[in-house]
Amino acid sequence: MIDFITRIRRLAVIPLAIALTIGLFASGCKSTPKTPSQRQASVIIKDKSQEEIDAVIQSVFEKHGYELYRHQEGPAMVFEKKGSFMNGLMYGDWYSGGVWDRVKVYRAEIEQGQILVDCDDYMVQEHDDPFFQSERKTYKTRGHVYQQMLDEVAKQLVGK
């Protein structure tokens, strides 16, 4: 009987270990942020004008296939591109067609000469219809994509 209980305990440990591993990867491991932002990605730009920063942000996002969205939402620059097939599976539904990847980039001065540039990502259905569009925030595991883009913005601005 004791041998039977020991076998069951050993067999229960394997699924538990697998579930914990999947949970760690699904939650999106993240190191301590270097900025005061709570958004998916962020950088701090020093000693550059708002116009310089906006121009480089636009060029980097356009390089990655995004277009500046026609509707400005307050202080955010909004970029969109058609989502992939996998984006449609993860964030779409059966009747609304494809999804669009929408990134909202925010700029805010945090200290004299320091501007925080950060962004959040959303998947949008019915993106061209403001009344019916459905915007869903993406999982934090996608943050590395936008962090690389904002790092590229910072790198280009340092070279100027």
Return the structure tokens found at 50.
């708002």
| Whether this model's pTM surpasses 0.75 | no
- Within this chain, do residues 16 and 56 fall inside the same structural domain, yes or no? no
Question: Distance between CA 63 and CA 59 in Å, rounded?
Answer: 6
Per-position pLDDT tens, the chain of length 160? 666 556 555 555 566 556 555 655 555 555 545 767 788 889 999 999 888 999 999 999 999 999 998 656 677 899 999 887 777 667 666 566 678 888 999 998 888 889 999 999 998 887 777 777 777 788 777 778 899 999 999 999 887 6
Which phi-psi region, left, alpha or beta, contains residue 151 (left: φ > 0; alpha: ψ -120 to 50)? alpha
Task: Give the domain extent around 12.
Answer: 1-30
Question: Distance between CA 47 and CA 54 in Å, rounded?
Answer: 14
Residue 144: the pLDDT is 86
- Within this chain, do residues 9 and 65 fall inside the same structural domain, yes or no? no
Tally the domains of the chain: 2
What angle is formed at CA 97 by the lines to CA 95 and CA 103, rounded to 5 degrees?
A: 125
Contact 13, 90 (CB under 8 A): no
Look-up of token digits 């569009």: 133
- Within this chain, do residues 14 and 76 fall inside the same structural domain, yes or no? no
CATH of the domain at 136: 3.30.310.80
Per DSSP, the residues of 9-62 read HHHHHHHHHHHHHHHHHHH---PPPSSS--SSEEEEEES--HHHHHHHHHHHHH
Instruction: Look at residues 152, 151, 158 and name the one whose alpha carbon lies nearest to residue 34.
Output: 151
Which amino acid, 9?
Answer: R
Residue 149: the pLDDT is 93
Residue 32: the pLDDT is 43
Which amino acid, 33?
Answer: P
SS3 label, residue 102? strand
